[in-house]
Amino acid sequence: METIRLTTAGAIVRYLIAQRTEIDGDEVPLFPGVFAIFGHGNVTCLGEALEGVQDQLPTWRGQNEQSMAMAAIAFAKAKRRRQIMVATSSIGPGALNMVTAAGIAHANRLPVLLLSGDTFANRVPDPVLQQVEPFGDPSVTVNDAFRPVTRYWDRIAHPAQVLQSLPQAVATMLDPADCGPAFLGLPQDVQAEAFDFPAAFFEPRVHRIRRPGPDPGELAEAVKVLRGAERPLLIAGGGVHYSLATEELAAFAERHGLPVVETVAGKSSLPWDHPLFAGPIGVTGSSSANALAAAADVVLAVGTRLQDFTTGSWSVFGDERLRFIALNAARHDVAKHLAVPLVADARRGVQELDAALADWRAPSEWRERATREYAAWNDTLDEAAAAPTASGLPSYAAVIRRVNELAGPDDYALAAAGGLPGELNKHWRSFGVGTFDCEYGFSCMGYEIGGAWGAAMAVPERTVLSFCGDGSYLMSSADVYGSVLAGQKFILILCDNEGYAVIDRLQVFTGGASFNNMLEGVRAERPARVDFAKHAESMGAWTETVDDLDRLDGALQRARAADRTAVIVIRTDPHAWTGGDAWWDVGVPEVSERDEVRVAKAAHEAGRKHQRPGV
């Protein structure tokens, strides 16, 4: 058997280069690049191996391990899980910085390969720099923190283990049901060890995403339930995008007359003006979609895990006899709330369900109601976007509407945590299919910047428009600089409302006093305002601060023309929010000295009566 003698690190790099995939009929690298911050745990071996193959596997330097891994995750999302980025860190704090990003990938079912340095397998030099020492278990390192937030986890204790572990990691990340982050811990001594690897291990291999079809019995039951529906509703989730099923979904809805609503992850499955689109559903959703959910007797949930923001903590569905049909590649997701299971790839499942339903159509009265509800919702949005605020500053709604009006059909809108996801989910009108990314599975602050960098890398032919609050910027702004260094441009619309305004809203709504969220209420000797434009400019970005919406128009045009990442800063009102939200289950104190809390508790318990108790 022909062998090649390589270090463990060299073998990993060579294997990654050999993996290929297909996108639109073209063969491309499965792993197109690496985000890296080097330290003593990964620079001498993995770094040495990467340096020699930069033309085949380019390495991009991050500024923060968390945000560079976010960039890798957003890249995979924009590529619809067809390509996977690698992120590598040293041991200790660098590794732990990536745990949060692993949580993002795990919650959102997105692939990323995380390679972290580790302590010595032989333990001779213990304790080494940045090593924690659990006294009762010397085998535990900080890398064990990745176990609950990864789909595949391994620590390579011998070079030969790579032969088993790497193919399993790749298979996990490409599996439509188990897709998520994979982690390999690389002890420093093992990275350096040489081994005679079989040459066949490094032969190029083209991977294709599996498309499992539905079980005939499950398909027949789903058809039976749908055919008996009087008020059927289709919920489009993120799996519609990952399966590349948007065209099939639209054709299915049109042929059978089903109103379609979207989750946050499923947003832009249909254009906003599609005749069967009825708005976003749930807590950050629309009055139209939520009204239809309250009346629906059958819900076909395609590619969604039915998170609490989608279901209003299971309060938006009003018919006690409601039946769910869960079409999903993951068995875990189809078993929820006694749904009729339909385990299948979204595209293939929709196609086969379409054929089996033949000429069946939903009642026309139901479609007409959906149209009326959606039209009324859009009138509400127009009013909210035009409404003046008490402060005179523009609302989030007004900023989003103005940017939306100036956006092109292929612009890629991106957001994450705070108040912007809710306002964008309501107000952003998707002109094109597959043009929206809001990280709301893990709702992680900072994704707006790291994620925008990764998206800009993945779709360089598009303009990435990232909406970010001042809180997220202060938490994770470093990879504005990373994008400038790399030359991968995005436009950041930074809405400064001087605090964590949406959490302040929740705090006050549940009866609490405004506390520790807004700048005016923070314990501070000198509550200074940050000049965000100057800060971004110091990292090499093109910047501009605007005072009103009219100046935003010109700034956005100049940002598009800029030759690098652009940051537009605009002050926004912290208290103007768009209504229409569904109920959401949060902990409201049962006992409090505040009258406001007692009133809020009573109101919350009244809402709980509409909650669907697990069936």
Residue-wise pLDDT for 277-299, tens only, equals: 999 999 999 999 999 999 999 99
Longest CA–CA separation in the chain, Å: 79
pLDDT number for residue 228 = 97
In the CATH scheme, what is the code of domain 216-376?
3.40.50.1220
* Architecture label for domain 3-207: 3-Layer(aba) Sandwich (3.40)
Q: What percent of the chain has pLDDT over 90?
A: 96
CA distance 411 to 3: 48
CA nearest 458: which of 95, 63, 111, 182? 111
| Distance of alpha carbon 19 from alpha carbon 181, whole angstroms | 17
Span 498-527, average pLDDT: 92
Residue 347's Cα: distance from chain center in Å? 20
Give the model's pLDDT for residue 581. 72
Mean pLDDT of 469-478: 96
Give per-residue pLDDT as tens, 200-209.
999 999 999 9
Please give the C-alpha separations between residue 161 and each of 16, 158, 322, 529, in angstroms, as whole numbers: 15, 6, 50, 53
Mean pLDDT in residue range 48-59: 97
Q: CA–CA distance from 369 to each of 276, 297, 374 (Å)?
A: 11, 14, 9
- Tell me, what's the pLDDT at 17? 98
Q: What is the mean pLDDT of residues 32-43?
A: 97
Q: What is the CATH number of domain 387-571?
A: 3.40.50.970
Per-residue model confidence (pLDDT) at position 528: 87
Residue pLDDT, tens place only, 215-237: 999 999 999 999 999 999 999 99
Contacts of 446 (CB under 8 A, 6+ apart): 66, 67, 70, 416, 472, 475, 476
Neighbours of 565 (CB within 10 A): 32
CA 53 from centroid of its chain's CA atoms: 30
What residues does CATH 3.40.50.1220 cover in the chain? 216-376
Give 3-state DSSP helix, strand, coil % of the chain, rounded to 5.
40, 15, 40
Residue 289 host element (H or E) = helix 287-295
Strand-pair partners of 518 = 499
Q: Starting at the earlier edge strand, list the strands of the sheet with 19-23.
A: 26-29, 19-23, 205-207
Distance separating alpha carbons of residues 449 and 334, to the nearest angstrom? 33
Residue extent(s) of CATH 3.40.50.970 domains in the chain: 3-207, 387-571
Asked if 299 and 319 count as a contact pair (C-beta separation under 8 A), the reply is no
Helices (H) and strands (E) counted in the chain, each on its own, are 23, 23
pLDDT tens, residue by residue, 358-393:
999 999 999 999 999 999 999 999 999 999 999 999
